[in-house]
Structure 1
Amino acid sequence: MSRFESITIREVESSDLETFYEHQLDPEAIRMAAFVCEDPKDKVAFDAHWNKILNSSQITQRTIVAEGQVAGHIACYPHGENIEVTYWLGREFWGRGLATQGLNRMLHLVVDPPIFARAATDNIGSIRVLQKCGFKIVGKNKDFANGRGEDMEEYILRLDLDQANE
């Protein structure tokens, strides 16, 4: 698998949503993400969720595009008093540097660190992406993970202004 030399992030277009939905159905991606919606196959819930996201002025949402293909999406959103980042790539794009590039580009759009992220403790790929972008593990949480059907731990990671895009 070759790495992509560069990618872009752009505003989400309605035509991207079907690809996002298909990515969400991948059993391995669901297992890796762990903390997913109750029923990833529920298209009505998916559409309602994305309608809410796209109509929110508080969420910065982008599509990750590689060589003209919709590779996934990335978002920064309020979570309590904090800003959190989340991303999802189609499995065919894993391990090719897209998540790291997309996250670095997204971090340039967010002006108010600290920024937080969460990753299942065994999701080594996602943890590595976050750490490459300057995030540090600051805690652990245990909660029910729909993608695993059981309680599991997740790391809480934090990016401060002095760590951004190191």
Structure 2
Amino acid sequence: MTGDGDASAGVRLRAVEDGDLDVLFEHQADPVAARIAAFPSRRREQFDAHWAKLRRDDTVILRTILADGTVAGNLGSWADGDLRLIGYWVGREHWGRGVATQALTLFLGEVPVRPLHAFVAASNAGSIRVLQKCGFQRDHAQEAREPEPEDGVEEFVFVLGR
């Protein structure tokens, strides 16, 4: 997710619908995107089970990102211990148009809970830039509390509103 470039005027959010899942599956299955995000793609059965679990959980906030009426990605927020996390995934065909930045800005207006945290691969410059544009800052103190990653992927922790 690069997030750079001109903002797309047609970005909006809505609740996730069953018909979105095929597109969202393809987004996370993109090997280039998965490598940049440093997040392994799920097989279809794993993906469907994961999304079914998320959609049943009333504490999880999920949104589909639409860009000019097309499913462009998803955003979510969930509790993890004492942290409230956010995450997003934008399909590669929408990178570089400001879709992720505009969608996250809209989402932050919907979700009043603060602080919000985001974990991002240190090598994912596009996603880091999106978070910074939306007011997130590195949380070095939280990073120091995190255990060494088992998968060897260096992650930064960003926070909005302490």
- Aligned length, in residue pairs: 153
In the aligned structure 2, how far is the partner of 1:144 from the partner of 1:28? Answer: 22
Q: Is the 8 A contact 1:35 1:144 kept in 2?
A: no
Q: Is the 8 A contact 2:90 2:100 kept in 1?
A: yes
TM-score, L = length of structure 1: 0.87
Q: How does 1:81-120 map to 2 (within 5 A)?
A: 81-120=82-121
In the aligned structure 1, how far is the partner of 2:132 from the partner of 2:150? Answer: 24
Question: Aligned pair in 2 of structure 1 residues 2, 135: CA closer, same or farther (>3 Å)?
Answer: closer
Q: How does 1:45-56 map to 2 (within 5 A)?
A: 45-56=46-57
Q: Is the 8 A contact 1:6 1:101 kept in 2?
A: no
| Match in the other structure for 2:157 | 156
- 1:33 lines up with 2:37 in the alignment: yes
Alignment RMSD: 1.6
- 1:9 lines up with 2:13 in the alignment: yes
TM-superposed deviation, 1:61: 0.1
In the aligned structure 2, how far is the partner of 1:70 from the partner of 1:35? Answer: 21
- 1:143 lines up with 2:143 in the alignment: no
Give CA deviations for 1:114-143 in whole Å, capped at 9, x if unaligned.
000011111110000001100000134541
Give CA deviations for 1:41-66 in whole Å, capped at 9, x if unaligned.
51111100000011110000000001
In the aligned structure 2, how far is the partner of 1:35 from the partner of 1:157? Answer: 17
TM-superposed deviation, 1:35: 3.2
Whose strand proportion is higher, 1 or 2? Answer: 1
Structure 1 vs Structure 2: percent identity of aligned residues? Answer: 41
In the aligned structure 2, how far is the partner of 1:158 from the partner of 1:17? Answer: 28
| Match in the other structure for 2:23 | 19
TM-superposed deviation, 1:4: 1.5
- Consecutive unaligned residues of structure 2, counting only runs of 5 or more, are none
TM-score, L = length of structure 2: 0.89
Moved segments of 4+, more than 6 Å: none
| Match in the other structure for 2:133 | 132
- Consecutive unaligned residues of structure 1, counting only runs of 5 or more, are 146-150, 162-166
Whose helix proportion is higher, 1 or 2? Answer: 2
Q: Is the 8 A contact 2:6 2:96 kept in 1?
A: no
Question: Aligned pair in 2 of structure 1 residues 27, 114: CA closer, same or farther (>3 Å)?
Answer: same
